[in-house]
Structure 1
Amino acid sequence: MVCGIAHEGGDGSRPHPLPAQILDHATGYLAAFGAMAALLRRSVEGGSWRVELSLAGTARWLDGLGRVAGAAAPEPDVTGMIEEMDSAFGRLTYLRPPGTVDGVPPYWSSPPPERGEHPPAWW
């Protein structure tokens, strides 16, 4: 919220969090894209390549894309994107991970662990 994007949703005195962690998600996707681009470049040109990203840089880029009136925007259609699973916390509903690998979509094979379920140890 430090970049100011969340300020617009607030009451003028404090920011209001966005409904999704778009900065974290977008920066993560850009990091994965950068790593893949660097690997491709290495396979063609050789050498090693560096990818640099920052949350502030992603925020500036996203902020530069402009705005839509959120209240007037239609709800997104998430048909086919929702999954459910049982967990120690009850029934979880979540968005499927995006993309495919060799035509196979990624998936969660198990629910999130309970706190303390796995001991802190190096493998």
Structure 2
Amino acid sequence: MEVPSLGLGRTGTLSMQEALKILGYPNTYHYSSIFANVQDAHMWNEALRAKYQGHGKPFGRREWDQPLGHCRAITDVPAVCFWRESLEAYPDVKVDLVDRDEDKWYKSCSKLRDLIRTCDVFLQSYRPGALGKRGFGPAELAALKPGIIYANLSAFGTAGPWAGHRGFDSLVQTCSGMNVSEAASSGNVDGQVARPLPCQALDNTSGYFLATGIAAAVYKRAVEGGAWQIDVSLAGTMKFLRSLGQVTPSNDDLLAEGEVPRHYFEEHESAFGTLRAVKHSASIEGAMPGWDSMARPLGSDEPEWL
């Protein structure tokens, strides 16, 4: 191990992995590496339980060498959760951290407060308590903008021993056992013990729950007044979906033959080239729902309401 890149997830870790490869570090451990070796998922689960719940022996150099011994660099979760342990196990490493100028940080926080003063709904999906430590918790925002609706999306909810843990769709699928049942329902093709769902079902369903909660809060605010808070978790969504039961797999009638016809898609030019997306499934007389603009590089637009 030579270079632990300790930026948090969703801070360009995948592009950092590619950059490290170009710089001569082909074996860079990223979250996606887990899918190439399912046993790593069990190892990381043991490490997390030992560190955050006190179950089992904390990992040392010998244990870390099992998943990371062949790697010259690491990036992304879950490895960054063990940055201190990584430095102790590999004392000769050169650390790379995501850093930010304090003046720029203050400026962006001030701009965010200006936007909040004129908004109706504040939706966030950071780790529970993370924004509260920076002055953007529900109570602070209710004082800043009376009547605001504060919607939270977390991985494991606001209560229980895992409440403060980071997480996202694929991680909750893995630690909840959904991937195992998905592999079993498909007949454990190619000997797969775990298999990701064919879509990010927890993200998508949680989005609908959030929208429903926000709509209900708008109604309650109109009738009763006050500020309202909505909490949705990926783990809660997982429990709901699993409570619906699991059907006997039968995909033969769902598989399309050949290429999907072009009229099902829409294409737009962007700074990343031509991007294609699936068209909206519904149409309205006189209007066609769709994407007015596609993804753009970070920093392309001013932080302001359209």
- After TM superposition, the score normalised by the length of structure 2 is 0.32
1:44 alignment partner AA: V
Deviation at 1:51, TM superposition (A): 1.3
CA RMSD of aligned residues (A): 3.5
One-letter amino acid matched to 1:30: F
1:78-115: per-residue Cα shift (whole Å, max 9, x none)? x9x93321444546242427798xx96642013333xx
| 2:247 aligned residue | 68
CA contact (8 A) 1:83 1:94 kept: yes
Q: 1:14 to 1:20 in 2, by over 3 A?
A: same
Amino acid in the other structure paired with 2:221: R
Residue deviations 1:30-53 (CA, integer Å, cap 9, x gap): 111101100101111222222111
SS in 1 for 2:230: coil
The gaps in structure 1 that reach 5 residues or longer are none
Structure 2 vs 1, CA of residues 120 and 60 (structure 1 numbering), >3 Å: closer, same or farther? Answer: same
Partner residue of 1:46 out of 206, 222, 225: 225
1:82 aligned onto 2:261: no
Larger mean Cα displacement after TM superposition, 35-44 or 2-11:
2-11
Looking at structure 2, the residues matched to 5 and 99 of structure 1 have their Cα atoms a distance apart, in angstroms, of: 34
Aligned partners of 2:301, 2:234: CA distance in 1, in Å?
30
Aligned residues, how many?
117
* Residue type of the alignment partner of 1:65: L
Q: What is the alpha-carbon distance in structure 1 between the residues aligned to residue 293 and residue 240 of structure 2?
A: 35
Q: Determine if the alignment matches structure 1 residue 31 to structure 2 residue 203.
A: no
| Compared CA separation, residues 47 and 118, structure 1 to 2 (3 A) | closer
Taking a change above 3 Å as real, the CA distance of residues 110 and 7 of structure 1, as seen in their structure-2 partners, is: same
- 1:112 to 2:275 alignment: no
How far apart are 1:15 and its partner, in Å? 1.8
Gaps of 5+ in 2: 1-172
User: How far apart are the structure 2 equivalents of 1:112 and 1:62?
Assistant: 30
Structure 1 76/30 Cα, relative in aligned 2: closer, same or farther at 3 Å? farther
1:76 and 1:61 mapped to 2: Cα distance? 27
Q: Is the 8 A contact 2:279 2:290 kept in 1?
A: no
Alpha-carbon offset, residue 54 of structure 1: 0.4
Aligned to 2:176: 3
**Counterpart-to-counterpart distance in 2, 1:13 and 1:21:** 19
Structure 1 CA distance, aligned partners of 2:234 and 2:196? 15
1:53 is paired with a residue whose SS is strand
Q: SS where residue 50 of structure 1 aligns?
A: strand
> What SS does the corresponding residue of 1:47 show, helix, strand or coil?
coil
Q: Measure how far apart 1:73 and its partner are.
A: 6.9
Indicate conservation of the 8 Å contact 2:268/2:294, yes or no: yes
- Structure with the bigger percentage of helix: 2
Q: CA contact under 8 A between 1:27 and 1:54: conserved in structure 2?
A: yes
**Identity across the alignment (%):** 29
